[in-house]
Amino acid sequence: MKRKFVKCCWLSGCIIFLMACSGKKTTNHISDAVILHQNQDLLTEVIIYDVFTPPVAARLYIYTSLASYEAIRFSKPGEASIAGKLRGFAKMPEPEKGKSYDYTLAASEAFFTVTRNIKVFSVDSLKQHEDFVYGMFREKLDEETYKRSIAFGDTIAKAILARAKNDGYLISRGKPKYLGSKAPGKWRPTPPDYLDGVEWCWNTMKTMVLDSASQFMPPRPPQYSIDTNSFFYKNANEVYAINKNLTKEQKIIARYWDDNPFVIEHSGHLMFGTKKITPGGHWMGIAAIAAKQTNADPVQVAKGYVMTAIALYDAFIACWDEKYRSSVVRPVTYINEHIDNNFVPFLQTPPFPEYTSGHSAITAAASTVLGYMYGNNFSFQDTSDLRYIGMQRHFNSFQAAAAEASISRVYGGIHYRTGVEAGAEQGKKVGNLIIERVLEK
């Protein structure tokens, strides 16, 4: 299979430029906040290149961003541990009193160590960036402070990785394939590639804040029926009618929020894959935009990333719990069998059940948390996907962005309206619980 890879050169280009232009005082030109943003940018590029599924990508974001925050929070007296408010973490290490540290270096070391050990594959790209960051700090710090900061970052990383080792991920890798069911109304692999169900046992992962994966179980999906007067038929027919008459704006919205990490495209007998940002990566990018727009200090930058990652991670668990419980048939399958056998949805249908919508759940959770942190009327230009797909859009609030992401799945022909509405409500509940237990506590 021929693959068409996304060229993720922005960060590498910045690094090369900075290295070429900088003299002995390199770090005078790069703020601590910028270093944290660059670290996150690199992780997103690695996730795109290595093609992790959206739930797995969210797992990478939570552990790395949490490691970074738990180290850098000590640069701001009184900033509380977030790991201490989450499920399954031991007490986080603390720096020695009276000793000098560079907490941005410690945060970077913690971030890199977790990234390396959580099993990403593009280690060469990571090593290049690490060397650049470490080189900057070696220039400005005395040897003792440098080594002490690195050692502290390592202790944070080990504490984070201890939890990651026992979160259920390794066990989930050994599960059999999920091929759905031929029973009426149940999900089965969808065209054109008929892939098996992705991460079908993600509900066995240890949550960060939720008491259980099913804590916010949504209402039961509509009762399956092929009667043309039934709600289920009308629900599917709405998707069909919208897709047959998509406006230019609806097509733009659907493409903008697609965020399919690996789209398999067909041209005659030729198949090739296009790599793109994950839906979680899109919202980590929005968290970055909010931090930059408000000139957030390094601790607030790190907090924005980790809170967004918590929302994404727990929302994926809650959503995937319902997906494989109800295992609702996708619109393309139903429409092909009962309305129009030539129907092809505008977007490629992801390989997992319909109810509830993952985009709707995670965007509602992330937007709820970001709205609490930066304000519910936070206007911004979303450029987080610009260098990957050449598109950007303006939103007057995080909630407006989430609502558009949600309805985009109906425009794309891959979700019923009931799936996106239930997913959005589920995500809001997850987000509000995270605010209550982590930010307000």
Written in H, E and C, the secondary structure of 2-35 is EEECCCCCHHHHHHHHHHHHCCCCHHHHCCHHHH
* Percent of the chain scoring above 70 in pLDDT: 89
What is the pLDDT, as a whole number, of residue 304?
A: 98
265-305 pLDDT, tens digit per residue, is: 555 545 544 556 899 999 999 999 999 999 999 999 999 99
Which stretch of 45-59, 141-155, 345-359, 386-400 has the lowest confidence by average pLDDT?
Answer: 45-59
Q: Which of 1, 6, 25, 3 is nearest to 258 (CA)?
A: 6
Give the strand order in the sheet containing 262-267.
2-4, 270-275, 262-267
Q: Where are the beta strands (DSSP E) in 95-233?
A: none
Amino acid at 126: L
- Residue 265, pLDDT score: 56
Residue 133 pLDDT more than 80? yes
For residue 311, the surrounding DSSP H or E stretch is: helix 298-326
What are the Cα distances from residue 233, in Å, to 239, 240, 347?
10, 10, 21
Residue with tokens 């209402």: 219
Tokens of 73: 């929070």
Q: Per this entry, what is the length of the chain?
A: 441
H/E element, 263? strand 262-267
Whole-number Å distance between alpha carbons of 187 and 291: 40
CATH topology classification for 8-170: Vanadium-containing Chloroperoxidase; domain 2 (1.10.606)
- Residue 55 identity: P
Would you say the C-alpha torsion 44, 50, 54, 56 has a positive or negative sign?
negative
DSSP state string for 210-227 = -SSTTTTPPPPPPPP---
Mean pLDDT for 140-150 is 97
State the average pLDDT for the chain. 90
Looking at per-residue confidence, does 4 or 249 come out higher?
A: 249
At 244, list the tokens.
């047959």
Backbone angles phi, psi at 258, to 5 degrees: -55, -55
Instruction: Report how far apart, in Å, the C-alpha atoms of 313 and of each of 29, 130, 175 are.
Output: 34, 26, 20
Residues 15-52: tens digit of each pLDDT: 433 443 333 344 446 899 999 999 999 999 888 888 78
| Core vs surface per residue 363-373: b (16+ CB within 10 A) or e | bbbbbbbbbbb
**DSSP code of residue 329:** P
Cβ atoms 79, 180 nearer than 8 A: no
Distance CA 325, CA 334 (A): 19
Q: Of all helices (H) and strands (E), which one includes residue 108? A: helix 103-117
Please write the tens of the pLDDT for every residue from 301-317: 999 999 999 999 999 99
Fold for the domain defined by 182-439 = Vanadium-containing Chloroperoxidase; domain 2 (1.10.606)
Name the CA dihedral angle for 104, 110, 111, 117, rounded to a multiple of 10 degrees: 160
Q: What is the b/e burial string over 129-139, where b = at least 16 CB atoms within 10 angstroms of the residue's CB? A: bbebbbebbee
Q: At residue 327, what is the residue type?
A: S
- Assigned token pair, 72: 């850098």
Determine what percent of the chain falls in helix, strand and coil, rounding each to the nearest 5: 60, 5, 35
- Residue 231 pLDDT exceeds 50: yes
Across the range 412-440, mean pLDDT stands at: 98
β-bridge partners, 394: 381
pLDDT at 234 > cutoff 90? yes
Q: Is the pLDDT of residue 3 over 50?
A: no
120 and 59 in contact (C-beta within 8 Å)? no
Mean pLDDT of 237-244: 98
**What local confidence, expressed as pLDDT, does residue 307 receive?**
98
Could you count the other beta carbons within 10 Å of the beta carbon of residue 192? 13
Q: What pLDDT shows up at residue 274? A: 59
What would the DSSP string read from start to end of 57-99? Answer: HHHHHHHHHHHHHHHHGGGSTTPPPSGGGSTTPPPPP-PPTT-
Where are the CATH 1.10.606.20 domain residues in the chain?
8-170, 182-439
Gap between the terminal Cα atoms of the chain: 51
Answer yes or no: pTM beyond 0.75: yes
- The reported pLDDT for the residue numbered 120 is 63
Tokens 């943003």 found at: 37
